[in-house]
Amino acid sequence: MASGVGVKSTSESSPRLDGHLHFTNRGSRENDSLRSHARRVGRETEHWRRSTRSLPRSLHSTSSFPQLRQPRKTRKQLPSQFRETRHDLNVDTAFVGQAEAGDAIPTSDTATSVTEDKVDPPDPLWSMMNQQPGAHFATAQTSLWTPAPRAEFGSFVEYHQQPGCRLLRDDAPTLPQHISSHLLAPLLAHSDLVSTALVTHYLDELNLLDHLDVLRAFWLGGDVVFLERVNAALFGKDSAGAGEALGLGKRARTRARLGLGNDDVDNDRLGADEKREWGIGLGIGLSERAKWPPGGAELTYALRSAMVDDNDDDGLRLQNSDVWHGIEDKVSYAIKDLPEDRRDGRRAKWLNPKGELMFVGVLYGHIADMNSHRVSTACMPC
């Protein structure tokens, strides 16, 4: 007997008792239910992923969650008085004397003249309206009353006191084992699915690894070509950096780069206490500035040129990923605001041309996609 001796069906007045309707081999059946649950989750997830890749975000929908869909437009029902009028016009003589759903409002005459319909069964709604008050309780499928807890407890005890019926099962002879293998098994199985889905979503849909590659390339020196261009733009190297004054010989550039400003025209105009010492090793374009830290279009152009390179054949740029497309617009430079600090604090370091280039930071502007996912933009000093 599939349902087992002593098992109560759901149609009875007493509610289903937990544990009473489970069959033998419940362990294997539970495993099967968990496996089917996992398969169902996998199918739903795969369907959703396919739909997100093929449709715009505004049209996302899955077949299993109709509440996410746009509600189907349904034609409004005509008011009852109009339906009655129309139905009266189209009334068939076979339906005369019967209280139907589309018929006229039931009157005392029609209510007492309900007859058996040999053509169509009476509408259950209007049939119920014609019954005596309270008569519908006898035909209700669900009982309004629940059994007393004592009765439920009595049936629980009666069932488990039967010979051969044990409180704990053979596959879980101890209570902790029973809890782990039966009570918490669905929860733990679903927990694994959730954790896996989260990792998969970040790796596949959000391309987390590509973002990490970008950070590695531009912040940790992973892109050697980019690193060399930045060095060339900031420190000049063998050739004049961007913004460098043209016409200077190699010796003059070297002297300027080393901070030997004897040939600096601006310094010649200044007094002894006003002569500035520019940073050593900086590109000429950054050294010949009236203020520090330098700013403006010269610096921006120098750094921008390090980012954009039409002849770049680096493998990183050739990656076919949404993250890398237009990377030049996502990675940019930012001039950080000077902090309010003490004379010897961080502000003082910024104002020292011989110090670090702390006023410039590289900004990863992938805010629109990742902001909702709590990934803050990385702004690191050069």
Partner 1 sequence: MASIVLNNLYAHLLARSSTSSLNQCHDIPTLAVAYILQRTSQPLLALMDQWVGLAEASAADEDTNPDAQPWSNLGITRHGSTPPGSGKKQRWEYTFSASKMPNFVPKSDRHTLFEAGRSLRLLRDASDSQHPLCHGDWGVHGQWGWGEEHE
Would you count residue 8 as binding partner 1 (CB under 8 A)? no
Six-digit token string for 93: 């003589």
CA 278/CA 253 separation, integer angstroms: 13
Lay out the site mask for partner 1 across 313-352 (x = CB under 8 A, - = otherwise).
----------------------------------------
Residue 12 is classified by DSSP as S
User: Cα-flanking dihedrals φ and ψ of residue 362, to 5°?
Assistant: -95, 125
Lay out the site mask for partner 1 across 146-165 (x = CB under 8 A, - = otherwise).
---x---x--xx-xxxxxxx
Would you count residue 5 as binding partner 1 (CB under 8 A)? yes
Residue 137 is classified by DSSP as G
Strands (E) located in the chain: 331-335, 360-364, 379-381
The distance between the two most distant Cα atoms of the chain, rounded to a whole number of Å, is: 119
Would you count residue 205 as binding partner 1 (CB under 8 A)? yes
CA 234/CA 127 separation, integer angstroms: 90
User: Peptide bond before 353: cis, by omega within 30 degrees of 0?
Assistant: no
According to CB under 8 A, which one of 8, 14, 31, 34 is a site residue for partner 1? 34
According to CB under 8 A, which one of 80, 191, 239, 377 is a site residue for partner 1? 191
CA 372 to centroid of chain Cα atoms: 8
Q: How far is the CB of 270 from partner 1 (least distance, A)?
A: 49
Would you count residue 374 as binding partner 1 (CB under 8 A)? yes
**Looking at beta carbons only, is 53 or 251 nearer to partner 1?**
53
316-342 per-residue burial string, b: 16 or more CB within 10 A, e: under 16: bbeeeeebbeebeebbebeeeeeeeee
CA 243/CA 233 separation, integer angstroms: 9
According to CB under 8 A, which one of 13, 23, 86, 143 is a site residue for partner 1? 23
According to CB under 8 A, which one of 80, 131, 180, 254 is a site residue for partner 1? 180
**Looking at beta carbons only, is 197 or 338 nearer to partner 1?**
197
**Looking at beta carbons only, is 159 or 324 nearer to partner 1?**
159
**Looking at beta carbons only, is 26 or 346 nearer to partner 1?**
26
CA 229/CA 242 separation, integer angstroms: 11
- Positions that interact with partner 1 (CB under 8 A): 4-6, 18-20, 22-24, 26, 30, 33-34, 37, 40-41, 44-45, 47-48, 52, 57, 60, 62, 64-65, 68, 149, 153, 156-157, 159-170, 174-176, 179-180, 182-188, 190-195, 197-198, 201-202, 205-206, 372-374
